[in-house]
Amino acid sequence: MLTDNDLQAIGLTVRLAGLTTLILFLIGTPIAWWLARSRSAWKGAIGAIVALPLVLPPSVLGFYLLLAMGPQGPVGQFTQALGIGTLPFTFWGLVIASVFYSLPFMVQPLQGAFEAIGDRPLEVAATLRASPVDCFFSVVLPLAKPGFITAGILSFAHTVGEFGVVLMIGGNIPGLTRVASVQIYDHVEAMEYGDAHRLAAVMLVFSFLVLLALYTRRPATDQAI
């Protein structure tokens, strides 16, 4: 069946996608909340920047991240000053790149979920003595739960399917940056079509199951009444 290298690549992919999704929950939620609630003139610009990875070729995103995190880039200088070297061709470099790459897949479903809640439940919570933070955890989170599930699934799956950014930032280091999509590329390059088939089938089945889960999930009926 799958070779040890394949399994290693799959394990690395899952770890990368899991960590990325976790980080995205933490930074995507406030961004989505701000985009959903703010009336600032900057809203359009910030929304466009968040959506950029949807349309940008992954190689372009990877290129800029590589420059930023490289020895001459601002991020690279900073990380070197901290004494942790530079991030390209490391696992954490991949994580940071994936966070940018999958940001819209976290922010947009969350923003939609927050907007669908509207003002009223927040006002009700305020009249029932809930502070804004309390209200977020006791009302917004439960009401936006379907949005959080969708955003988490999409971010995870999208990170699993990442290829171009990984090649630009991470290269192809076994056990460190060689994720499943790159492993398939290697198999094909080496004419190992059998191995490529098996791993590709795993990815296909995984992607299908994710989308199946998304599309058959009970639609959210919890609207404020």
Partner 1 sequence: MSTLDIRCRLDWPGFTLDVDLHLPGHGITALFGHSGSGKTSLLRCIAGLEKPTHGRLVVKGQIWQDDQTWRPPHQRPMGYVFQEASLFPHLDVLGNLRYGQKRSASASRVALEQAIELLGIGHLLQRRPATLSGGERQRVGIARALAVGPEILLMDEPLAALDLQRKQEILPYLERLHDELDIPLLYVSHAPDEVARLADHLVVLDGGRVMADGPLGATLARLDLPIRLGEDVGVVLDATVGEVDGEWHLARVDFAGGSLWTRDRGLPAGQAVRVRVLARDVSLAVDAPAASSIQNVLHGVIESLADDDHPGLLLVRIQVGASLLIARLTRRSATQLDCHTGQAVYVQVKSVALME
Q: Does residue 120 interact with partner 1 by CB under 8 A?
A: yes
- Comparing CA positions, the residue from 46, 40, 36 lying closest to residue 116 is 36
State which of residues 30, 57, 74, 142 lies at the interface with partner 1 (CB under 8 A).
142
- Quick one: which segment of 18-26, 108-116, 126-134, 202-210 binds partner 1 (CB under 8 A)? 126-134
Q: Does residue 134 interact with partner 1 by CB under 8 A?
A: yes
Encode burial over 193-211: b for 16+ CB neighbours within 10 A, e otherwise.
Answer: eebbebbbebbeebeeebe
Q: Does residue 222 interact with partner 1 by CB under 8 A?
A: yes
Q: Give the Å distances, CA to CA, from 45 to 41, 49, 50.
A: 8, 6, 9
- Quick one: which segment of 37-45, 138-146, 169-177, 194-202 binds partner 1 (CB under 8 A)? 138-146
Tokens of 128: 């029932």
In angstroms, give the least distance from the CB of 22 to partner 1: 24
Closer by beta carbon to partner 1, 189 or else 222: 222
Q: What's 148-165 look like in SS3?
A: HHHHHHHHHHHHHCCCHH
In angstroms, give the least distance from the CB of 216 to partner 1: 22
**Four-point Cα dihedral 118, 123, 126, 128, nearest 10:** -110
Tokens of 210: 């994710």
- Comparing CA positions, the residue from 92, 79, 85 lying closest to residue 15 is 92
Q: Does residue 223 interact with partner 1 by CB under 8 A?
A: yes
Q: Does residue 218 interact with partner 1 by CB under 8 A?
A: no
Count residues near partner 1 (CB under 8 A): 22
Residues of the shown chain interacting with partner 1 in the complex, contacts defined by CB under 8 A: 120-121, 123-132, 134, 138-139, 142-143, 221-225
